[in-house]
Amino acid sequence: MENKEYAAAPDMRITPPVTDDLAPGDLHPPITPRKTPWQGQEPAVSAPESAPVTQSETAPATEPEKGAEKSAASRPAPPRKRKGWLWAVVAVMALLLCATAVMCAPQLSHTVYRNTAVMGVDMGGMTTQEAADAWRAAEKAVYATELVLTEDGVEVKRCTLAEMGVHLSPNDAAAIAYAYGRDGSLLQNAERWVKSFFAPVDIHPAFDVDETVLRARVADMVENLNCTVVDGAFALTEEGPDGPGLYITKPADGVTLDGKDLEKQLTLRFQTGDLSPVECVYRQTKAETVDVAAIYRELHHKAEEAKCDKATGQPTRSYVGLDFDVDAVAEQLAAAKPGETFLAQAEVAFPKVTTEMLEEAMFRDVLGTYTTKVTGSSARIHNVYLAAQCINGKIYNPGEEFWYNATVGERTVARGFGAAPAYVGGQTVDSVGGGICQVSSTLYYATLLANLKIVLRYCHQFAPAYITWGCDATVSWGGPDYAFRNNTDYPIKIVTDWKDNNLTTTILGTKTDDTYVKIISNTLSSTPWEEQTVVNPDLPYGSEPRVVQTPYTGYFVKTYRNVYDGEGNLISSTFEANSDYEKRDRIVEVPPDYYFAAPEETDPWA
């Protein structure tokens, strides 16, 4: 008989076909399920609750015949259900793909994780360049972050990161932000990446520290932060509470901040990015003593002003003048309370100008300057140039005097001076060094404008043409001289400049106010020259007259030195000098026949 397979219906019942092998009265022959080698056990099939239960399903079946049993055993089992197993495989693969994507996503991104900040500077979603720019824009505020110092848990001091030499470059800050979530294992990086979508992260990085700045800051705190130790000390000051003088402090023991411990703690904090409060450690400290006799040996000196060392051009050391009785001051110290500062019984004289003042201000300002045009013969121009070089760069400390003849020296041919016109006995003659009065005159005007003290000055015999009347100074070797004194508190320097036959003399020094000088020249009278005719028997008859002496008009001039403040208000007007210039007549030489009239011509035909 032919065997056939049937699939289960939706209600999971199996309806067998009518067969001749059924015993009479058997509606459902027994079915022996067959186990598949891969399944192990056929799943149970339950009928729906709505299926009716018939008597034949519950009644015991009659024992089949041997042939029927063999036919049932050889019948193949229905196909097994594989759909759930496939879906499980798909789900596992999907989970693996998702996990792989999550773990690889951080490596594929080229920006900082979202919700990521460094010291409060948001860099989420930025490239490293954008993150560096963000740090650069906000770093002033970052360095204003304060670190709290405590003593027994109580705040005693706040210091900014900038004050302690802490810094971090923009590129380093950006690199730190970018590395977050990329510098761990795959699982750690994936976890941080996922968390960045939900929770913000603020990174406190390891900072760079300028050890010099940090050490100086700690040293300052050691001296001033709740320090009860008072070291013995002394000081010379012009601004003490009881006036200028020598002040001595009596020592007092106490506690001081442990600077080494604090510096070590701060360095560690900055290297780890930990900005939590730092507990300060204090230690008992013995104060440094003070020795009155040692003070005397160190400070006893005669007062000396700082001045310019002419050999080096540098300021010399200034000294405070100090003298006192050692025993008397020692008694003052014994009577003082620990930590007390008192004014010692001493004679003290402070210099007006110290070394430090000169180092800052020596030759800083132009006190006065004047320029004249040099003309005449080549010998005269060369003489003026040589004399100007002789005074160039000369330095005069306070109270010292400049003398022209001593500075320039004797004018000789051997020194390079030549013969040029000069006034001798009212006459114009060639003289070695002729013309150098223009240097002394130009310098004189500059010293007037510098408001320096004039010691000696003579005007020329005749009014000069190259400078304002009343502002010249004539000189001659063995004769008239010119001198001035440095009456300022600072050194002065003479500087000469030569350009295109223009001579400029300048006085450099140190201005202590905004005053300036103007020179006022008043011509009170003039004396006109006259012409004199002199017969020269050596002149040929009939020759033309010749001028042998040029004329000068005589003048009487008074000069005044007016001093003004910076706003142009006249402070003082003082008489400076009289200048009495002589007149000089013009002299014309004529031949002997100059005064004889020529005979009158007569007409013989008249």
Q: Would you place residue 79 in the very low, low, confident or very high pLDDT band (cuts 50, 70, 90)? A: low
Rounded to whole angstroms, the Cα distance separating 147 from 222 reads 17
Rounded to whole angstroms, the Cα distance separating 492 from 494 reads 7
Rounded to whole angstroms, the Cα distance separating 112 from 98 reads 22
Q: What is the pLDDT of residue 224?
A: 87
Residues in the chain: 606
Kindly give, in sequence order, each residue whose CB lies less than 8 Å from that of residue 166, ignoring residues fewer than 6 positions away.
Answer: 143, 207, 208, 209, 210, 214, 270
Q: Which of 6-10, 268-272, 427-431 is least confident?
A: 6-10
Is the pLDDT assigned to residue 43 strictly greater than 90?
no
Query: What does the pLDDT look like over 420-437, one tens digit per residue?
Result: 999 888 888 899 999 999
| Mean pLDDT value across residues 233-253 | 95
Is the pLDDT assigned to residue 29 strictly greater than 50?
no
Rounded to whole angstroms, the Cα distance separating 141 from 121 reads 10
Rounded to whole angstroms, the Cα distance separating 397 from 424 reads 36
Is the pLDDT assigned to residue 97 strictly greater than 60?
no
Beta bridge partners of 403: 483
Q: Would you place residue 398 in the very low, low, confident or very high pLDDT band (cuts 50, 70, 90)? A: very high
Rounded to whole angstroms, the Cα distance separating 190 from 30 reads 60
Q: What is the pLDDT of residue 107?
A: 55
Q: What is the pLDDT of residue 424?
A: 85
| Mean pLDDT value across residues 8-17 | 39
Rounded to whole angstroms, the Cα distance separating 266 from 13 reads 84
Query: What does the pLDDT look like over 353-371, one tens digit per residue?
Result: 999 999 999 999 999 999 9
- Written as six digits, the tokens of 371 are 């320029």
**Neighbour tally for 16: CB within 10 Å:** 14
Q: What is the largest CA-CA distance in the chain?
A: 215
| Mean pLDDT value across residues 373-396 | 97
- Written as six digits, the tokens of 516 are 């300036």
Kindly give, in sequence order, each residue whose CB lies less than 8 Å from that of residue 42, ignoring residues fewer than 6 positions away.
Answer: 33, 34, 35, 36, 77, 80
Q: Would you place residue 594 in the very low, low, confident or very high pLDDT band (cuts 50, 70, 90)? A: confident
Nearest in space to 370 (alpha carbons), one of 313, 448, 302: 448
Q: Phi/psi at 49 (nearest 5 deg)?
A: -60, -25
Winning range, highest mean pLDDT, from 53-62, 110-119, 501-510:
501-510
Say whether 105 sits in a helix, a strand or coil: helix
| Mean pLDDT value across residues 333-341 | 96
Q: Which of 314-328, 436-450, 531-545 is least confident?
A: 531-545
- Written as six digits, the tokens of 384 are 């003026």
207 neighbors 266 (Cβ within 8 angstroms)? no
Q: Would you place residue 6 in the very low, low, confident or very high pLDDT band (cuts 50, 70, 90)? A: very low
502 neighbors 374 (Cβ within 8 angstroms)? yes
Q: Would you place residue 198 in the very low, low, confident or very high pLDDT band (cuts 50, 70, 90)? A: confident
Say whether 56 sits in a helix, a strand or coil: helix
Rounded to whole angstroms, the Cα distance separating 227 from 254 reads 7
Distance of CA 137 to the CA centre of its chain: 21
**Looking at residue 503, what DSSP letter applies?**
E
Winning range, highest mean pLDDT, from 62-76, 111-125, 590-604:
111-125
Nearest in space to 210 (alpha carbons), one of 150, 146, 256, 143: 143
- Written as six digits, the tokens of 202 are 């603020």
Instruction: Kindly give the residue spans of alpha helices, DSSP state H, lying in 113-258.
Output: 128-143, 170-179, 186-195, 211-224
Q: What is the pLDDT of residue 186?
A: 72
Q: What is the pLDDT of residue 110?
A: 83
Q: What is the pLDDT of residue 98?
A: 57
Q: What is the pLDDT of residue 40?
A: 41
Is the pLDDT assigned to residue 497 strictly greater than 90?
yes
Q: Which of 49-63, 127-141, 542-556 is least confident?
A: 49-63
Q: Which of 99-103, 427-431, 470-474 is least confident?
A: 99-103
Rounded to whole angstroms, the Cα distance separating 459 from 471 reads 8
- Written as six digits, the tokens of 15 are 């309806």
Q: What is the pLDDT of residue 104?
A: 54
Beta bridge partners of 591: none
Query: What does the pLDDT look like over 458-470, one tens digit per residue?
Result: 999 999 999 999 9
Say whether 417 sits in a helix, a strand or coil: coil
Q: Which residue has the tokens 């320090």?
A: 227
- Written as six digits, the tokens of 594 are 């100059």
| Mean pLDDT value across residues 199-208 | 91
585 neighbors 532 (Cβ within 8 angstroms)? yes
Query: What does the pLDDT look like over 562-571, one tens digit per residue?
Result: 999 999 999 9
Distance of CA 433 to the CA centre of its chain: 53
Share of the chain above pLDDT 70, in %: 80
Give me the chain's average pLDDT, please. 85
Q: Which residue has the higher pLDDT, 81 or 262?
A: 262
| Mean pLDDT value across residues 107-123 | 85
Rounded to whole angstroms, the Cα distance separating 504 from 371 reads 4
Kindly give, in sequence order, each residue whose CB lies less than 8 Å from that of residue 11, ignoring residues fewer than 6 positions away.
Answer: 47, 48, 51
Q: What is the pLDDT of residue 495?
A: 98
Nearest in space to 162 (alpha carbons), one of 185, 143, 135: 143
Amino acid at position 263, single letter: E
Q: What is the pLDDT of residue 242?
A: 94
Is the pLDDT assigned to residue 87 strictly greater than 80?
no
Kindly give, in sequence order, each residue whose CB lies less than 8 Å from that of residue 227, ignoring residues fewer than 6 positions away.
Answer: 254, 255, 256, 257
Rounded to whole angstroms, the Cα distance separating 401 from 455 reads 8
537 neighbors 592 (Cβ within 8 angstroms)? yes
Beta bridge partners of 235: 247
Q: Is 195 exposed, middle or buried (0-12, 13-18, 19+ CB in 10 A)?
A: middle
Nearest in space to 495 (alpha carbons), one of 485, 503, 486, 505: 505
Q: What is the pLDDT of residue 76?
A: 55
Q: Which residue has the tokens 């009644």?
A: 59
Q: What is the pLDDT of residue 12?
A: 38
Domain boundaries of the chain, sorted by first residue: 1-36+53-75, 363-525+550-582
Say whether 564 sits in a helix, a strand or coil: strand
Nearest in space to 326 (alpha carbons), one of 246, 237, 243, 233: 246
Model pTM above 0.75: no
Amino acid at position 549, single letter: Q
Share of the chain above pLDDT 90, in %: 72
Beta bridge partners of 429: 422
Rounded to whole angstroms, the Cα distance separating 453 from 577 reads 12
∠ CA(380), CA(386), CA(389), 5° rounding? Answer: 145
Break the chain down into helix, strand, coil percent, rounded to 5.
25, 25, 45
Strand duo 208-209 + 245-249: pairing: unpaired
**Neighbour tally for 537: CB within 10 Å:** 6
Q: What is the pLDDT of residue 274?
A: 92
**Looking at residue 232, what DSSP letter applies?**
-
